[in-house]
């Protein structure tokens, strides 16, 4: 990233014309984001997402803090807090925090001597499970010292209302450096101007705006009525098709949850898995499938093995995945995804046939006209009282035994404050579901982060072994694959 070319300030050395990134600039939360923010009236519905980067060395602390300060000016969302309109009426908004204090958001910890992956994950779990201070910007960056061979970890904790996985990729692709050396010419935007906005001010602002926009909304509605009257047959067919699709999307999968995984708690447990990207891609190519198909097939194979080892046999289980609904020209950042739920074919023992079955299911889901139908309902739902909203949101996710996400990652070498990022794992939340698994591609590896509810997965060590075996089973579709590496 280079400077804009404008004359620099002689005192600060900053380019006064440097602008922040055009990322997550919307002032108001969209419907999905408001749902995630308000649903946390139920603690089990917390929407905390984390990334854990493994660094080849410990960054210089002062340089790291400076990098965090720079990043928060390049992406002003990280200097903003959420303000709710008075009485919970209206939409939560992002405002520039007049009390922003970087010192609160950035810190470091050290593992005990000789600590390994389990100690890293335990530290990350404790940070992830701690709720955000909702009076501050909802993010934290924690450097973890003391990893073996002089390595370090960087845990970044965000509220999901800030961004989805693809939005995070868009951001960090622009913030992370491509060299170990400091770039003195990168743009230096000023910190955003503080805003003092009360909940009452926000409510009045939104009500006034809604009143002004009512005539335009009415005009659009009349235009739609005219269209329906002039083309009644087409309109009825389109509406019927959409409603039937929305019913399929919104309904719970016609499948019982696992008898092993029905309990829920507030306890998160992290583990991770490394799989060579080229091997997973080759396995997919061998059976004419996508990487996402073989990824999901590996997970379902792991669940089949886990149940079998504990004396249970199941044919299907409820699964949920996010499907991106971003379109060309959409604002970067924020959340643009639809949740799709289906009955996962756990009982298909043959990995190739399981991959094929999953591919057919996912293609069918992507073709649904109402895939993004919840977006139409979310703005109205987001205005419900928080306790009721938490109950409704829980109904959408609590029955899921598995939520799985496949997020694009970085193939190039990246650095943060002079330290090279060797691995990058994502850990999603457990909004009432039993397990959450996230695949991030980084360099030549698929970095797979796993979060399980310990009330549901009562033998996490066995489950980790089954995860490795599930991926090995699918990787064997292409001869010569390296075995997956389990990090626990």
CA nearest neighbour of 421 among 171, 51, 162 = 51
CA distances for 485 relative to 153, 298, 383, 420, 427, angstroms: 18, 14, 45, 21, 17
Integer Cα distance of 51 and 323 in angstroms? 20
- Alpha carbons within 13 angstroms on the beta-carbon side of residue 379 total 6
**Encoding tokens for residue 133?**
């201070």
Kindly report the number of other CB atoms within 10 A of residue 386's CB atom: 15
CA nearest neighbour of 399 among 466, 341, 464, 321 = 341
Provide the H-helix boundaries in 382-430.
386-397
**Any idea how long the chain is?**
488
The SS3 assignment for 395 reads helix
The SS3 assignment for 444 reads coil
Is 160 considered catalytic here? yes
**Encoding tokens for residue 163?**
């961004």
**Encoding tokens for residue 436?**
């959450």
CA nearest neighbour of 298 among 127, 135, 468, 129 = 468
| Per-residue buried b or exposed e for 57-72, using 16+ beta carbons within 10 Å of the residue's own CB | ebbeeeebbebbeebb
Catalytic residue among 160, 176, 442, 478: 160
Q: Say if CB 323 and CB 290 are below 8 A apart.
A: no
Distant-in-sequence, close-in-space partners of 382: CB < 8 Å, separation ≥ 6: 29, 31, 34, 35, 38, 91, 92, 389
The SS3 assignment for 435 reads strand
Q: DSSP string spanning 298-316?
A: HHHHHHHHHHHHTT---S-
Integer Cα distance of 35 and 150 in angstroms? 42
Q: Would you name the residues annotated as active-site residues?
A: 160
């Amino acid at each position: 990233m280079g400077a804009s070319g404008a004359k620099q300030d002689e005192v600060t050395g900053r380019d006064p014309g440097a602008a922040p990134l055009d990322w997550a600039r919307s002032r108001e939360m969209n419907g999905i984001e408001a749902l995630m923010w308000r649903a946390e009236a139920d603690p089990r519905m917390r929407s905390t997402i984390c990334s854990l980067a493994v660094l080849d060395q410990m960054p210089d602390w002062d340089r790291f803090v400076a990098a965090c300060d720079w990043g928060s000016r390049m992406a002003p969302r990280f200097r903003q807090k959420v303000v709710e309109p008075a009485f919970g009426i209206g939409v939560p908004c992002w405002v520039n925090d007049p009390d922003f204090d970087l010192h609160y958001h950035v810190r470091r910890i050290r593992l005990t001597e000789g600590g390994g992956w389990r100690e890293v994950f335990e530290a990350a779990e404790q940070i992830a499970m701690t709720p955000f201070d909702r009076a501050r910007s909802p993010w934290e960056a924690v450097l973890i010292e003391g990893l073996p061979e002089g390595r370090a970890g960087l845990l970044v904790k965000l509220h999901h209302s800030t961004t989805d996985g693809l939005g995070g990729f868009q951001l960090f692709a622009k913030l992370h450096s491509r060299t170990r050396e400091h770039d003195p010419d990168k743009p230096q935007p000023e910190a955003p101007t503080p805003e003092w906005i009360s909940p009452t001010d926000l409510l009045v602002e939104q009500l006034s705006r809604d009143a002004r926009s009512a005539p335009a909304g009415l005009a659009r509605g009349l235009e739609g009525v005219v269209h329906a009257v002039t083309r009644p047959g087409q309109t009825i067919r389109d509406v019927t098709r959409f409603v039937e699709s929305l019913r399929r999307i919104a309904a719970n999968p016609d499948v019982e949850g696992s008898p092993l995984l029905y309990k829920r708690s507030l306890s998160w447990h992290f583990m991770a898995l490394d799989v060579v990207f080229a091997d997973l891609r080759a396995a997919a190519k061998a059976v004419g499938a996508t990487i996402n198909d073989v990824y999901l097939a590996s997970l379902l194979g792991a669940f089949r093995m886990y149940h079998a080892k504990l004396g249970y046999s199941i044919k299907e289980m409820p699964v949920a995945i996010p499907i991106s609904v971003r379109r060309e020209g959409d604002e970067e950042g924020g959340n643009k995804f639809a949740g799709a739920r289906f009955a996962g074919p756990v009982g298909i023992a043959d990995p190739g046939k399981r991959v094929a079955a999953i591919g057919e299911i996912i293609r069918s889901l992507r073709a649904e006209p109402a895939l993004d139908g919840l977006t139409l309902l979310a703005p109205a739902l987001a205005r419900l009282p928080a306790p009721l909203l938490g109950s409704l949101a829980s109904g959408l996710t609590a029955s899921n035994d598995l939520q799985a996400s496949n997020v694009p990652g970085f193939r190039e070498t990246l650095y943060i404050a002079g330290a090279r990022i060797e691995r990058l794992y994502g850990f999603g939340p457990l909004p009432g579901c039993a397990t959450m698994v996230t695949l991030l591609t980084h360099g030549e590896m698929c970095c797979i982060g796993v979060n399980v509810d310990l009330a549901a997965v009562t033998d996490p060590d066995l489950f980790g072994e089954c995860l490795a075996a599930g991926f090995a089973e699918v990787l064997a579709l292409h001869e010569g694959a390296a075995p997956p590496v389990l990090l626990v």
